Structure 1
Amino acid sequence: MTFAERPEDLTTPEEALSMSGLEYMERMLAGELAGPPIGRVLDYAATHVEHGKVIFRGTPRFDFCNPMGTVHGGWYGTLLDSAMACAVMTTVPKGSTYTTLEYKVNIVRSIPLGMEVETIGTVQHGGRSTGVAVGEIRGVEDGKLYATGSTTCIVMRIAPPA
């Protein structure tokens, strides 16, 4: 996956609306479309995409710590929001867009710095106006559960220009 380095690298709204969410995610994973710059900054990227499911992998660095030296909850939240919302995106039809309305994170245990984790987002409901998904963060090597999450996204049909 390649990441956008400047605004011009991102897909235009018109181009994004010309494909389904699944097609968009597949093309991004294949490197045909630039990934979001936040993935480069926070060291995570999509590794698997299918209808209703997206997997990201990431590794927390010291830069992502809170004042107590543990991984900041915002890093957990960002990975979960990305995986869960992108899973919903895979159910969004051509001509529509979506955004997160709310998400919740439950941190089970602290992720050790430098340990690669996998964040799995799975759709529970992909409808015309809403999408609901759940997620979990697990250690790649140890398989332990580090956090869970849930999200509700709004799906919006965009009318073509008159």
Structure 2
Amino acid sequence: MPRIPATSSADLPDRAALLTRSGLEFIEDMIAGRLPPPPIGETLGFAAVEATRGGTVFAGAARLGAMNPMGGVHGGWYGAILDSCMGCAVMTELARGEIYTTLDFSVNITRALPEGTPVRAVGEVQHRGRSTAVARGELRGRDDDRLYATGTTTCLVMRPG
């Protein structure tokens, strides 16, 4: 399981730090600890662990704080880790000076995920155009490779300034 360090808003990179790197360089710098990880990973118990052009892998496990009133992992946790791996997969395709935002994402949960189960979320870009990108993701058990959820996303690619 990756160690997920605490991050404060003062630690987060500013827009200049983002725009001076390609998306892949930015994700690689986060994984290597040269940039702080986003606070959502600390909050929800997951982090990026691998990145290649067009793909990322996140690892983590849902904790007690992600449980719904019935004692199951809340669907939003599945959505958050899949949105992160798919969006960051899109980010690995970005050139310096480009940013992205999620336009739409969909998650299909295939089975209940027990609290504390180590998982890997794999995101892969399916299409990168001038202004949009499409990616898919899978959430699988780290130890048994069981499929827990799938997802798709469409992202808007922008060139600010």
The 1:18–1:81 alpha-carbon spacing in structure 2 relative to 1, beyond 3 Å, is same
Q: TM-score when scaled to structure 1?
A: 0.95
1:36-75 matches, within 5 Å, as 36-75=38-77
Q: Which amino acid aligns with 1:124?
A: Q
Give ranges in structure 1 of 5+ residues lacking alignment: none
Structure 2 counterpart of 1:142: 144
Check conservation: 2:58, 2:121, Cα contact below 8 A.
yes
Structure 2 counterpart of 1:114: 116
2:13 maps to which of 11, 14, 21: 11
1:91 maps to which of 93, 109, 126: 93
Deviation, structure 1 residue 127: 2.0
* Higher alpha-carbon deviation: 97-106 or 121-130: 121-130
Structure 1 counterpart of 2:127: 125
CA RMSD in angstroms, aligned pairs only: 1.1
Give ranges in structure 2 of 5+ residues lacking alignment: none
| Count of residue pairs brought into register by the alignment | 159
Structure 1 residue ranges, 4+ long, deviating more than 3 angstroms after superposition: 1-4
Q: Residue 73 of structure 2: SS of its match in structure 1? A: coil
Check conservation: 1:45, 1:57, Cα contact below 8 A.
yes
Once residues 111 and 101 of structure 2 are traced to their aligned partners in structure 1, the CA distance between those partners, rounded to angstroms, is: 28
Q: Residue 148 of structure 1: SS of its match in structure 2? A: strand
* Higher alpha-carbon deviation: 6-15 or 148-157: 6-15
Q: Among the aligned pairs, what percent are the same residue?
A: 52
Q: Residue 91 of structure 1: SS of its match in structure 2? A: coil
Deviation, structure 1 residue 88: 0.1
Post-superposition CA distance 1:120-156 (Å, at most 9, x none)? 0000012221110000000011111000000000000
Once residues 160 and 120 of structure 2 are traced to their aligned partners in structure 1, the CA distance between those partners, rounded to angstroms, is: 33
1:104 maps to which of 86, 103, 106: 106
Once residues 148 and 61 of structure 1 are traced to their aligned partners in structure 2, the CA distance between those partners, rounded to angstroms, is: 20
Q: Which amino acid aligns with 1:45?
A: A
Structure 1 counterpart of 2:156: 154
Deviation, structure 1 residue 8: 1.4
Check conservation: 1:2, 1:31, Cα contact below 8 A.
no
Once residues 128 and 29 of structure 1 are traced to their aligned partners in structure 2, the CA distance between those partners, rounded to angstroms, is: 27
Q: TM-score when scaled to structure 2?
A: 0.95
